[in-house]
Amino acid sequence: MTRKPFILQNPSVLIVLAVLAVFTAAVTAGSAAYGSGVIPTSMVKVLGKTLCLALAAVAMDLVWGYLGILSLGQMAFFALGGYMIGQWLMYARTETIVAASLAQNPIPATPQELQDAVTNQIFGVVGSADLPLVWSFAHSLTLQMILILLVPGLLALVFGWLAFRSRVNGVYLSILTQAMTLALALWLFQNDSGFRGNNGLSGLQNIPGLDHVSQATLSVWFLWASAAALALFYVLAAWLVSGKFGSVVRAIRDDETRVRFLGYPVEGFKLVVFTLAAMITAIAGALYYPQAGIINPAELMPIASIYLAVWVAIGGRGRLYGAAIGAVVVSLLSSWFTGGRAPSINLPGYVVNWVDWWQVALGLTFVLVTLFAPKGIAGIFDWLGGVLPPRRQGRDLGPNDGAFQEAEAKA
């Protein structure tokens, strides 16, 4: 056995990267800033955001499809990443505006006056005059970028350590992750949490220092950044699950007890994957919210994380490209159907309005996929590639679960 390079062992990685490159080039060519302009800037933003969601789905697949933890709190990390970058975006931009208006005063403003004015601008809406402690680093892009990794990473580490150490598993762990994101959302909703309560952070689409760059151009830049992040972390995730580490992680998913008796520290592996996935999700969030322009605590409600799980399930969990495809297809379809542009279906006596019925259709699809096509959309690629599960029809040939069955033995 000779060892092939990583890329050759995983041709799907190459295909995903190629598709991503072609997609990015095509959108750039159609954008208003760099091409013909057939794709409006708002659409470029939607596509850029979709790539960020795909990245979050890839991270979710690491946690769910490979490690076997159905985390229903992944979007907490996504939103935390958004809040961290949002703090700098909002602070730095407000500072520029306030500084410009104070510059017209006959007496130059002191740094303290400047900061007070900025604080007043940002927090006046929640009736606060002091800069909250959590905004101490908001003036520095570098520090906030470090926080994008540090805050969600630490949250995942502490939460995971507590949960995995007490061997909480299965549905109880899912409920716990959901409780985590709900608790965080409820805390952020409070005005005195220091994150502007239910107003959230806004104006994030304006990048301080880049006022001269139009939104059309910025949207393409963010699309590139999102595509680059997706490519980078897709390769990282594929590498992570390819070798012996991936083998152990999948073994933990299938039989945790047995892995313990092999001598592997199961909790350590879970912590590494969970924390890494949280940080990847946070980076996706940090790229998403400047394109969305606004973030508020509603983004952390459990429903957002449940959507993520639905995308991954429909796309095909346990396949990284499945998760990415699921996120892209389902989130784009969702925005089309709920955008009011999908034609209604006229039934005798009732008009099916997609804005009302899309959620029902999505829920039904989720149930059907789980029941009848557990491999999701990725299963189509398996089918095309000729990877078929053994046909288990026919009578048992032996007394045990693992024994061959008539039809298989013949083949």
Partner 1 sequence: MSALLEVSGITKSFDGFKAINNLSFSIDAVELRAVIGPNGAGKTTFMDIVTGKTRPDAGEVLWGEGSRSLLKMNEAQIARAGIGRKFQRPTVFEDQTVAENLTMALRADRSPFAVLRWRPSRGSQARVEDLASEVGLAAQLARKAGELSHGQKQWLEIGMLLAQEPRLLLVDEPAAGMTLAEREQTTTLLCRLAETRAVVVVEHDMDFVRRLNCKVTVLHQGAVLAEGSLDHVTRNPDVIDVYLGR
Which residues are at the interface with partner 1 (CB under 8 A)?
1, 3, 240, 243-245, 247-248, 250-251, 254-255, 257-258, 260-266, 268-269, 271-272, 390, 398-400, 402-404
Give the phi and the psi of residue 319 in degrees, each rounded to 5. Answer: -130, 120
In the complex, minimum distance from the CB of residue 263 to partner 1, in angstroms, rounded to a whole number: 4
Instruction: Give the nearer residue to partner 1 in terms of CB position, either 260 or 341.
Output: 260
Nearer to partner 1 among residue 175 and residue 251 (C-beta): 251
β pairing state of 201-202 and 294-295: antiparallel
- List Cα–Cα distances, 202 to 207, 225, 286, 379, 383, in angstroms: 12, 21, 14, 40, 46
Q: How far is CA 50 from the centre of its chain?
A: 9
Shortest CB 238 distance to partner 1, Å: 14
Question: Rounded to whole angstroms, how far apart are CA atoms 91 and 282?
Answer: 20
What's the closest the beta carbon of residue 167 comes to partner 1, in angstroms?
10
First vs last C-alpha separation in the chain:
27
Who's near 236: CB < 8 A, 6+ residues apart? 280
Q: How far is the CB of 253 from partner 1 (least distance, A)?
A: 9
β-pair partners for 396: 405
Closest listed residue to residue 132, CA positions, set 77, 51, 187:
187
Of 99 and 403, nearer to partner 1 (C-beta) is 403
The pair phi, psi for residue 177, each rounded to 5°, is -65, -35
Q: How far is the CB of 168 from partner 1 (least distance, A)?
A: 16
Residue 24 and residue 48: Cα distance in Å, rounded? 9
Which residue lies nearer to partner 1 by CB, 1 or 129? 1
Which of residues 180 and 266 has its CB atom nearest to partner 1 in the complex? Answer: 266
Q: DSSP alpha helices (H): ranges in 293-405?
A: 302-315, 320-338, 354-372, 378-384
Q: Please, where are the H alpha helices in 103-243?
A: 111-123, 141-165, 170-189, 215-242
| Shortest Cβ 243–partner 1 spacing (Å) | 7
Please give the helix or strand (H or E) that residue 48 lies within, else none: helix 41-61
User: Least distance (Å) from partner 1 to the CB of residue 160?
Assistant: 13
For residues 258 and 341, which CB has a smaller minimum distance to partner 1 in the complex? 258
CA angle 185, 49, 232 (to 5 degrees): 100
Q: Which is nearer to partner 1, 75 or 240 (CB)?
A: 240
Q: Between 85 and 249, whose beta carbon lies closer to partner 1? A: 249
Q: Centre a 10 Å sphere on the Cβ of residue 104 and count the other Cβ atoms it contains.
A: 6
Whole-number minimum distance, CB 5 to partner 1, in Å?
A: 12
Q: Considering the complex, what minimum distance in angstroms separates the CB of residue 405 from partner 1?
A: 11
Q: Which helix (H) or strand (E) is 98 found in, with range?
A: helix 74-102
User: Between residues 139 and 250, which has the closer beta carbon with respect to partner 1?
Assistant: 250
